[in-house]
């Protein structure tokens, strides 16, 4: 039901999901292109970051897609309170024609149906989390916006804003918002 409500040009569409003979599947829109992680890796190998105009176009498209998801409402018009919770280069597709699309709402939570994360577990990639998410606090649309800002920083600089030798060190930096100059 939720997948049917997320129909927007900047969100990879989910057409169907289920299981056949005990094997789960998801049928989603084919995006002829690469994920942003691959695009950033290629740019880095060539010794450059993405151009500011490219980053602005990507940012605008992703903000539109996320904004649409954040504003999604149920059949009765009640806001779903949907938060992606894993905005990262891995979950952003760039088509050959330059379209940017958010994908993988797999750990997204709707406020009305939110199940609590088990103590000591974190969903998402720590280097792209908002401080409140990294510290186990409630998240909302602003957490996705923060993560999008981290992605755009990386697009412009070629480096992650939060770095460390381990996920735990990165997590500590995220929680304290200890950024590079």
User: Which member of 86, 140, 144, 167 is catalytic?
Assistant: 86
Residue 86 known to be catalytic: yes
SS3 letters for the chain? Answer: CHHHHCCCCCECCEEEEEEECCEEEEEECCCCEEEHHHHHHHHHHCCCCCCHHHHHHHHHHHHHHHHHHHCCECCCCCECCCECCCCCHHHEEEECCCCEEECCCCCCECHHHCCCCCCCCCCCCHHHCCHHHHCCCCCCHHHHHHHHHHHHHHHHHCCCCCCCCCHHHHHHHHHHCCCCC
Q: Which residues are catalytic?
A: 86
């Amino acid at each position: 039901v939720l997948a049917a409500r997320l129909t927007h040009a900047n969100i990879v569409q989910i057409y169907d999901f289920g299981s056949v003979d005990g094997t789960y599947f998801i049928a989603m829109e084919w995006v002829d292109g690469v994920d942003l992680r691959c695009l950033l890796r290629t740019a880095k190998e060539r010794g450059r970051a993405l151009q500011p105009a490219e980053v602005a176009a990507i940012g605008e498209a992703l903000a539109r897609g996320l904004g649409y998801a954040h504003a999604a409402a149920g059949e009765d018009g009640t806001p779903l309170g949907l938060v992606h919770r894993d905005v990262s280069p891995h979950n952003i597709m760039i088509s050959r024609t330059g379209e940017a699309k958010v994908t993988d709402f797999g750990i997204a939570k709707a406020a009305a149906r939110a199940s609590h994360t088990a103590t000591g577990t974190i969903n998402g990639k720590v280097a792209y989390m908002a401080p409140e998410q990294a510290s186990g606090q409630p998240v909302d649309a602003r957490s996705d916006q923060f993560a999008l800002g981290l992605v755009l920083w990386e697009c412009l600089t070629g480096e992650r804003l939060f770095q460390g030798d381990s996920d735990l060190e990165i997590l500590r930096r995220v929680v304290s918002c200890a950024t590079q100059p």
